[in-house]
Amino acid sequence: MVTTQAASVLRGSPYRADCPTRRILDRIGDRWTVLIVGALSDGSARFSELRRRVEGISQKMLTQTLRGLERDGIVSRTVHPEVPVRVEYALTEAGRTLREPLRALEEWSIAHLGDVSASQKAYDRED
């Protein structure tokens, strides 16, 4: 989507496809972005190290997500032309400022995980 529909959607009010929040959410909502930003919060890391930190991610998704983050200026990519190539990834300044809102979300998650789980169980039991 966001192809032919995009044009017609652009008319609208808030909560629209062109809304900045929407743009960012499309990025951070992709399941891996937050994990990668989190993994890089401790400091820079190379490709294989990231792959180990973000357990469960495939090589394809790691590459793809990193490209997107690099494109958005959230992550920097540095190639060291050594014998076996070494590539370092790190948060940019913008990336570091993103940690705060993400942490807020994480704290909410931790604080409400119990409530959410309980609510889910209650919902599934009846109905």
Partner DNA sequence: CGGGATCCAAGCAGATACTG
Partner DNA sequence: CAGTATCTGCTTGGATCCCG
Interface with DNA by CB under 7 A: which residues? 1, 3, 30-31, 46-49, 57-61, 63-64, 66-67, 77, 84-87, 89
Q: Interface with a copy of itself includes 49 (CB under 8 A)? A: no
* Spatial CA neighbour of 65 closest among 100, 102, 99, 30: 30
Cα separation, 99 vs 90, in Å, equals 13
Q: What is 59-124 written as a DSSP string?
A: HHHHHHHHHHHHHTTSEEEEEE-SSS-EEEEEE-HHHHHHHHHHHHHHHHHHHHHHHHHHHHHHHH
Q: Interface with a copy of itself includes 28 (CB under 8 A)? A: yes
To the nearest whole angstrom, how small is the minimum distance from the Cβ of residue 82 to a copy of itself?
22
Candidate residues 4, 7, 81, 100; the one interacting with a copy of itself per rule CB under 8 A: 100
Which residues are near a copy of itself by CB under 8 A? 1-2, 5, 9, 12-17, 20-26, 28-31, 34-35, 38-39, 53-56, 70-74, 94, 97-98, 100-102, 104-110, 112-113, 115-116, 118-120, 123-124
